[in-house]
Amino acid sequence: MKKIIKNPMSLAGLIIILIIGVLAIFAGYLSPFDPNYINIDAILLSPNEFHWMGTDALGRDVFSRMLHGAQISLLVGIVAVGISTFIGIILGSLAGYYRGIADTIIMRLVDVMLSIPSFFLILAVIAFLTPSIWNIMIVIGLTSWMGVTRLVRAEFLSLKERDFVLAAQTLGASDFRIILTHLLPNSLGPIIVSTVLGVASAVLVESGLSFLGLGVQAPTASWGNILTDGKEYIQFAWWLSLFPGLAILITVLGYNLLGEGLRDNFDQNT
């Protein structure tokens, strides 16, 4: 934590993430209006003292919807990356530790998955499922584990020849114990960096799906579908596109800054 604070890049990213996280957690208390309340007397109002970010085509308060949209975007990002990281750690551990047939099968599967554009793969899967927040999280997680797998495999290949692993094998430690207590803890640095950067990517994917109408469905608010609502009125209701676009930009920037700062710290340690 001291190194993160001393690194201006990672500190800026951490502050951004903490602010957005607090806003998302306390959205129910901070929202001045019900995010789904329709007010026909307040349609497409520009930002003012009552509606800080204006209103949309149904008279809903954009600021309230932005706060609740932060909950959806961050939830999707964190859960999806959790799924992909879990899968990547398991497959990468098996490939890096056992090598041989297991390594060949897993890495060929990774090559096949990487040959398919991930966003189009997600679109294809979502098209056969009912669009919902849970389906989105699962699909993003199941289609984005390849990078973590390759990363964990590379770390295990490097660590497996170290003296502490050979000593554990000599003492009769089981493969599961060696992987769990010796190899995996020493691989956490790159995994953490990959996870942080993965959240930013997942937020972008969720926003893109919602923008296309295949993500979070109305009336639930997400930054992507707020952008969708604003594209028809962009010429005279600029706030409907500006604020969710800035929210996505700042959030992704925060995670990328923190991830790059962590990467620099771990590189210095190694």
Output the pLDDT for position 190: 87
Return the closest-CA partner of residue 195 out of 258, 134, 253.
258
User: Which listed CATH number (1.10.3720.10, 2.40.30.10, 1.20.1260.60, 2.60.120.380) goes with 2-269?
Assistant: 1.10.3720.10
- Average pLDDT estimate for 151-155: 92
User: Dihedral of the CA atoms 153, 154, 156, 160 (nearest 10)?
Assistant: 130
- What residues pair up with 55 in beta bridges, in sequence order? 61
**Whole-model pTM over 0.75:** yes
Among the residue ranges 2-6, 27-31, 91-95, the one predicted with the least confidence is 2-6
Q: How far apart are CA 68 and CA 47, in angstroms?
A: 18
Q: Give the pLDDT confidence of 89-130 residue by residue, as tens digits.
A: 999 999 999 888 999 999 999 999 888 887 787 877 777 777
Output the pLDDT for position 53: 92
Output the pLDDT for position 123: 79
